[in-house]
């Protein structure tokens, strides 16, 4: 009997055919991952006790061809290490363009590191590259890669990392200091005799220009020592449960994730950059394998004048023995920058962490133009000044227009010095278009790439870690300008101004061609909306003023005595909007209203002409900057007597508890004829008496009166004073 094929049979065939095709395609696409799982977790292992080469060959022989395809998400940090190394190598190469340049990639396996480096720093820049590995199956992949790329300066060496010998070292040659660059990407944890390897690297590395880059897994317990915290960086500590879990898990594959390797690495070499990350592998935020990216150089480079003052301070504090000269105490990363050294060393102490978490890094808006015009400052090239880092607009303006000998920028909040470092580094390395997008518009789509490839060599390790962890700060302009405490206040303003109908009036206010037109829009369209009952209640609330606006208790009390915060805010805005043109003259308020600067209305350092001054003579004017991550009083105590001409304290004295000590130190460090300037939320601050008692001549430059005339284009303060020695 002949069977007849029905419609259901055809449908079944189609379903099975489609299913088979899907399975085949899925299997093809997942084949590398399936091989990875089999060889790493399912394949029977050889008996213990085999020599390392045999064990490596057997482990990788079935998966060498899919090694790179399956390790991209697992081996995080490799590309960062390569990009960071490339940016630092460019600087070193520029300093010694005719020097022979040799790179040794230890445990380089398939040659993937060299391929990644070629994208950031063409390998033609190296006279010789040596890939050293003990695993023959991986090296076969490397040889094919090298042949396909046509690289003539790359040599593959199947040798032990502890005893490798380069072809350019003839018998009897002393290889000391002959190598300029060494990398170890996820290989240090696979080498039992890592002490020997690191000692050997230290021996062959050039003591002046040599660079070592490492990316690997790690585990670490609590860091009790301030020096260890500073060297290891933030986020180094691993939870005890995950620390032991990863330690045991990786040991099955002969990877040893103890803290010993990294501790010895940081002791043997000087740290240039350090970053601790978590690899969100397969399941984000659940499987978090700790890894680190690290750059270093010789412990005592021949071209570097070493300053042990920070270690002496550490020893004095730790052992209660003032004047102790520490012996064998590792130097901190602040000693090993390969470029400029703007940032003075500091320990990452608990108070710094608190400030970093709770304080914004963009709060110091001041009208430096009006300040300079009113005070008629005449700085000479041999004069030095001190001011707060959070007023970086003023510091940058002073550097460009007056070029003083030294500019001491002080702030106990490390975030604000991180920002100033970033601006100085960007002025050194970026083109004007990127510079303005970054700090004018407050966002940059390629910030992370710029950070690793251009900015990093000019940043301290602490600043690099901060911006690496806060790279999303430049994902939108308003986020960058509204960090920490200020973000809630600015968010509230933006929310109010985004109300349909209101935003139209805000745009008209910002585009006004005359002060008269602008003042009319403010009085008739916006004033009643901005200063409504809800805002009045919030501004009279001490909790809102302290926690959201960031006003100290002393500042809030002083404003309360002068009519309250609400009245102060109304007087401030009424005065500036009826005196200065927002479109061109008031960059601070333009930023508040629009969330960004414009080319017409921005700080002068963001203009092309001032930017060109920064770039001139290889950025020589930035050499004047010294960034102190301490209080003003602590900083003054470390400065020489009669070393400063001008000091700008902004409103700092309003909240200073040790006024007499501060005035005494100001008197000591100021030159005869030098001046101190400050602003206050009070019309007649009580601490003015302390300056007069110390022999200063105190003059009121501005005091807000019933006429409500603005002090400057920002007009936040009620008074401004000058004290002359």
The rounded distance, in Å, linking the Cα atoms of 576 and 590 is 12
pLDDT over 90 at 42, yes or no: no
Beta bridge pairs of residue 408: 386, 626
Query: Could you write out the three-class secondary structure of 570-584?
Result: HHHHHHHHCCCCHHH
Confidence of residue 294 (pLDDT cuts 50, 70, 90): very high
CATH 3.40.50.150 residue ranges of the chain are: 66-301
**Strand 181-185 vs strand 102-106: parallel, antiparallel, or unpaired?**
parallel
- Whether residue 686 is predicted with pLDDT greater than 70 in this model: the reply is yes
Six-digit token string for 158: 């199947």
Report the pLDDT averaged over residues 524-544. Answer: 80
- What distance in Å separates the CA atoms of residue 176 and residue 164, rounded to the nearest whole number? 14
- What phi, psi does 278 have (nearest 5°)? -125, 125
**If you average pLDDT over residues 471-475, what whole number do you get?**
83
Which structure tokens are listed for 623?
Answer: 């050499």
Instruction: Write down the pLDDT at residue 32.
Output: 59
Task: Please tell me the predicted confidence (pLDDT) of residue 362.
Answer: 52
Radius of gyration of the chain (CA): 31
Rounded to whole angstroms, how far apart are CA atoms 520 and 646? 40
- What is the band of 38 on the pLDDT scale with cuts at 50, 70, 90? low
**Of 490, 483, 489, 488, the residue nearest 390 (C-alpha):** 483
Mean pLDDT along residues 508-514: 92
Give the mean pLDDT of 418-433: 94
| Angstrom distances, CA of residue 648 to CA of 384, 386, 627, 632 | 12, 6, 15, 11
**Most trustworthy range by pLDDT among 9-13, 95-99, 325-329:** 95-99
Residue 124 has pLDDT above 70, yes or no: yes
Residue range 545-572: mean pLDDT, rounded: 71
Q: Could you give the CA distance from residue 1 to residue 9 in angstroms, rounded to a whole number?
A: 18
Nearby residues of 302 by Cβ (< 8 Å), 6 or more positions away: 207, 208
Q: Give the pLDDT confidence score for residue 520 in this predicted structure.
A: 95
Residue 198 parent element (H or E)? helix 194-204
User: In terms of residues, how long is the chain?
Assistant: 725
What's the confidence (pLDDT) of residue 216?
93
Question: Mean per-residue pLDDT for 486-504?
Answer: 68
CA separation (Å) from 440 to 254, 396, 436, 498, 596? 51, 15, 5, 21, 6
Among residues 113, 111, 110, 109, the alpha carbon closest in space to that of 121 is found at 113
CA 64 to CA 91: how far, in whole Å? 35
Q: Is the pLDDT of residue 95 over 80?
A: yes
**Does 357 have pLDDT greater than 50?**
no
For the cut 90, the answer to whether the pLDDT of residue 467 exceeds it is: yes
Please state which of the four CATH numbers 3.30.9.10, 3.40.1260.10, 3.40.50.150, 3.40.50.300 is assigned to the domain occupying 66-301.
3.40.50.150
pLDDT digits (tens, 9 = 90+) for 168-214: 999 888 999 999 999 999 999 888 899 999 999 999 999 988 999 99
Tokens matching residue 532: 């409504």
Average pLDDT over residues 511-528: 92
- Note the pLDDT of residue 29: 55
pLDDT at 2: 47
pLDDT at 10 over 80: no
The structure tokens 């017409």 sit at 600
The whole-angstrom separation of Cα 210 and Cα 294 is 14
pLDDT tier at 580, thresholds 50, 70, 90: very high
pLDDT value of position 592: 82
Whether the per-residue pLDDT at 468 is higher than 60: the answer is yes
247 pLDDT band (50/70/90 cuts)?
A: confident
**In the chain, % of residues over pLDDT 90:** 42
Q: Is the pLDDT of residue 37 over 60?
A: no
Distance CA 181, CA 177 (A): 10
CB atoms within 10 A of CB 474: 24
Which pLDDT score is estimated for 438? 92
Q: Does position 3 have pLDDT exceeding 50, yes or no? A: no
Residue with the two structure tokens 């301290």: 460
Burial of 7 (0-12, 13-18, 19+ CB in 10 A): exposed
The answer on pLDDT for 367 being more than 80 is no
What's the confidence (pLDDT) of residue 360?
52
Distance CA 391, CA 411 (A): 10
Q: Which residue has the higher pLDDT, 423 or 15?
A: 423
pLDDT at residue 4, rounded to an integer: 45
Asked if 104 contacts 166 with a C-beta cutoff of 8 angstroms, the reply is yes
Tell me, what's the pLDDT at 491?
Answer: 65
Distance CA 226, CA 233 (A): 10
What sign for the dihedral angle of Cα 621, 622, 626, 628? positive
> In terms of Cα–Cα distance, which of 617, 620, 720 is closest to 675?
720
| CA distance linking residue 555 with residue 506, whole number of Å | 30
Mean pLDDT on 649-670: 91
- pLDDT value at position 688? 94
Within a 10 A sphere around the Cβ of 175, how many other Cβ atoms?
Answer: 13
Nearest CA to 574 out of 633, 638, 533, 515 is that of 515
Does the pLDDT value for residue 654 go beyond 90? no
Q: Which whole-number Å values give the CA distances from 266 to 82, 194, 204, in the listed order?
A: 19, 13, 17
In the DSSP assignment, the letter for residue 179 is B
């Amino acid at each position: 009997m002949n069977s007849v094929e029905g419609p259901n049979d055809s449908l079944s065939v189609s379903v099975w055919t489609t299913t088979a095709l899907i399975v085949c395609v899925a299997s093809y696409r997942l084949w590398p991952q399936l091989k990875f799982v089999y060889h790493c977790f399912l394949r029977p292992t050889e008996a213990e006790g085999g020599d390392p080469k045999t064990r490596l060959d057997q482990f990788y022989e079935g998966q060498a061809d899919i090694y790179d395809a399956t390790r991209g998400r697992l081996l995080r940090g490799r590309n960062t290490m390569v990009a960071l190394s490339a940016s630092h190598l460019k600087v070193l190469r520029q300093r010694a363009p005719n020097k022979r340049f040799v790179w040794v990639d230890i445990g380089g396996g398939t040659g993937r590191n060299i391929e990644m480096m070629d994208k950031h720093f063409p390998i033609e820049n190296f006279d010789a590259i040596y890939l050293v590995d003990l695993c023959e199956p991986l090296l076969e992949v490397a040889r094919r890669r090298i042949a396909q790329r046509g690289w003539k300066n790359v040599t593959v060496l199947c040798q032990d990392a502890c005893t490798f010998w380069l072809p350019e070292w003839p018998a009897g040659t002393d290889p000391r200091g002959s190598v300029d660059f060494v990398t170890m990407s996820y290989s240090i944890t696979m080498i039992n005799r890592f002490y020997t390897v690191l000692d050997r690297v230290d021996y062959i590395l050039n003591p002046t220009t040599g660079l070592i880059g490492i990316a690997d897994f790690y585990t670490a317990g609590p860091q009790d020592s301030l020096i260890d915290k500073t060297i290891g960086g933030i986020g180094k500590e691993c939870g005890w449960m995950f620390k032991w879990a990863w330690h045991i898990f990786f040991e099955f594959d002969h990877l040893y994730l103890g803290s010993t390797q990294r501790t010895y690495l940081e002791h043997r070499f000087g740290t240039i950059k350090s970053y601790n990350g978590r690899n969100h592998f397969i399941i984000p935020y659940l499987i978090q394998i700790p890894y680190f990216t690290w750059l270093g150089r010789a412990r005592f480079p021949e071209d570097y004048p070493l300053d042990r003052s920070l270690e002496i301070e550490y020893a004095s504090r730790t052992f209660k023995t003032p004047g102790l000269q520490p012996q064998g105490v590792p130097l901190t990363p602040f000693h090993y920058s390969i470029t400029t050294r703007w940032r003075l060393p500091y320990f990452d102490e608990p108070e710094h962490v608190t400030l970093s978490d709770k304080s914004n890094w963009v709060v110091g808006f001041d009208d430096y133009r009006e300040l300079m015009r009113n005070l008629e400052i005449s700085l000479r090239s041999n004069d030095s000044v001190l001011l707060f880092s959070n007023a970086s607009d003023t510091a940058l303006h002073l550097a460009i227009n007056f070029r003083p000998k030294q500019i001491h920028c002080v702030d106990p909040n490390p975030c604000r010095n991180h920002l100033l470092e970033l601006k100085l580094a960007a002025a050194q390395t970026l083109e004007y278009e990127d510079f303005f997008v970054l700090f004018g518009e407050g966002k940059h789509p390629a910030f992370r790439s710029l950070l690793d490839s251009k900015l990093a060599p000019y940043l301290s390790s602490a600043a690099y870690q901060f911006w690496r962890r806060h790279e999303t700060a430049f994902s939108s302009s308003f986020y960058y300008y509204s960090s920490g405490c200020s973000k809630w206040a600015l968010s509230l303003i933006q929310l109010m101004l985004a109300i349909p109908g209101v935003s139209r009036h805000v745009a008209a206010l910002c585009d006004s061609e005359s002060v008269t037109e602008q003042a009319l829009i403010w009085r008739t369209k916006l004033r009643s909306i901005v200063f409504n009952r809800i805002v009045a209640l919030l501004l009279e609330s001490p909790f809102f003023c302290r926690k959201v606006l960031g006003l100290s208790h002393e500042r809030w009390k002083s404003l309360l005595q002068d009519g309250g915060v609400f009245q102060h805010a109304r007087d401030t805005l009424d005065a500036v909007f009826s005196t200065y043109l927002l479109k061109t003259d008031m960059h601070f308020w333009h930023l508040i209203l629009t969330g960004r600067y414009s080319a017409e209305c921005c700080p002068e350092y963001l203009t092309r002409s001032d930017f060109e001054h920064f770039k001139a003579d290889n950025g020589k004017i930035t050499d004047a900057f010294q960034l102190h991550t301490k209080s003003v009083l602590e900083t003054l105590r470390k400065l020489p007597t009669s070393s400063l001409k001008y000091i700008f304290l902004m409103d700092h004295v309003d909240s200073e508890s040790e006024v007499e000590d501060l005035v005494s130190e100001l008197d000591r460090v100021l030159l005869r004829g030098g001046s101190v300037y400050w602003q206050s939320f009070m019309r007649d601050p009580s601490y003015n008496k302390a300056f007069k008692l110390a022999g200063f001549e105190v003059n009121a430059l501005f005091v807000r009166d019933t006429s409500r005339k603005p002090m400057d284009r920002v007009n936040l303060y009620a008074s401004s004073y000058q004290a002359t020695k």
